[in-house]
């Protein structure tokens, strides 16, 4: 099953990385960071309207290579100029052809919050996210225990970042709420079989109390989808493939933001 494979690959990569840079050493590097102004994505989500997290993604397990030409910095700058509220950067290398370096460079080249989009399973990865400029991390309920969910989110917050806690099933949404998540993402993609159902997030929305902002993720293909989500009280959308393939990314983001 792909999710298990992704998590195993992440564990293996993490072990190799720890041998190169120990956790204490990584923490020291993070402690040396200049205290720059915090990019507060939660505050952004509390403004009126629907907010766009535009994703920089070269490939995915379900789609294979999405784009062959991948000028990631130019894409990120275009997203920011077009009015995106945050940029999601895939850093998983084996299945998404992502790199931490992309996150690092994009965070330095733009001034909106960046999300480390990865399969975060360990505090080490939260420190890496911080060191490479992320303002947000993703925590996937399906691959974490309740204790990990809570501890990793609190660690991110203690480092001045925020966590989007991603859920798919009813049980996962309930666990996300119970864990104290301040931002919840409802995925339209079933990570067990890749099936995407745009209607899925609407069915799950009411499980989240109104005070917690909810982001709809995956399978969002155009402004009409975003309008429906805004009307259903979603505060944000995470859009990857549609934007990566769009010939006019600027126009697509502008159209998303009209609602």
Ligand X SMILES: O=C(O)c1ccccc1NCC(=O)[C@H](O)[C@H](O)COP(=O)(O)O
Residues of this chain that interact with ligand X (CB under 6 A) are: 2, 55, 57, 60-62, 187, 189, 191, 194, 217-220, 238-242
Nearest distance from residue 63's CB to ligand X, in Å?
6
Tell me whether residue 26 or residue 165 sits nearer to ligand X (CB atom).
165
Q: What is the DSSP letter of 21?
A: S
Nearer to ligand X, 26 or 172 (CB): 172
Tokens representing 27 are 């923490």
Contact by Cβ (8 Å): 139, 157: no
Q: Which is nearer to ligand X, 26 or 184 (by Cβ)?
A: 184
Is the CB of 128 or the CB of 225 nearer to ligand X?
225
Distance CA 177, CA 173 (A): 6
Least separation in angstroms between CB 236 and ligand X: 12
Structure-block tokens of residue 173: 């949404």
Residue nearest to ligand X (CB): 240
Q: Whose CA is closest to 218, among 193, 197, 203?
A: 197
Question: Smallest gap, in angstroms, from Cβ of residue 239 to ligand X?
Answer: 5
Q: Which element (helix H / strand E) includes 53?
A: strand 51-56
Helix, strand, coil content of the chain in percent (nearest 5): 45, 15, 35
CB of 252 to ligand X, least distance (A): 12
């Amino acid at each position: 099953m792909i999710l298990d494979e992704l998590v195993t690959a992440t564990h293996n990569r993490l072990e190799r990385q720890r041998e190169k840079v120990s956790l204490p050493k990584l923490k020291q590097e993070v402690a040396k960071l200049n205290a720059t102004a915090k990019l507060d994505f939660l505050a952004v989500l509390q403004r009126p309207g629907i907010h766009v997290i535009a994703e920089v993604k070269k490939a995915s397990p379900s789609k294979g290579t999405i784009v062959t030409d991948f000028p990631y910095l130019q894409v990120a700058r275009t997203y920011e100029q077009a009015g995106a509220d945050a940029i999601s950067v895939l850093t998983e290398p084996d299945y998404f052809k992502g790199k931490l370096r992309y996150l690092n460079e994009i965070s330095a080249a733009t001034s909106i919050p960046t999300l480390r989009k990865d399969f975060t399973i360990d505090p080490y990865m939260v420190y890496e996210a911080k060191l490479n400029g992320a303002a947000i991390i993703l925590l996937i309920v399906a691959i974490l225990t309740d204790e990990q969910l809570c501890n990793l989110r609190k660690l991110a917050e203690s480092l001045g970042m925020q966590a989007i806690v991603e859920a798919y099933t009813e049980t996962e949404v309930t666990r996300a709420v119970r864990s104290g998540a301040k931002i919840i993402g409802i995925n339209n993609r079933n990570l067990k079989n890749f099936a995407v159902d745009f209607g899925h997030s609407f069915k799950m929305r009411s499980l989240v109390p109104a005070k917690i902002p909810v982001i709809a993720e995956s399978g969002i293909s155009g402004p009409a989808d975003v309008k429906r989500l805004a009307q259903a009280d979603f505060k944000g959308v995470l859009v990857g493939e549609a934007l990566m393939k769009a010939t006019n990314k600027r126009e697509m983001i502008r159209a998303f933001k009209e609602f």
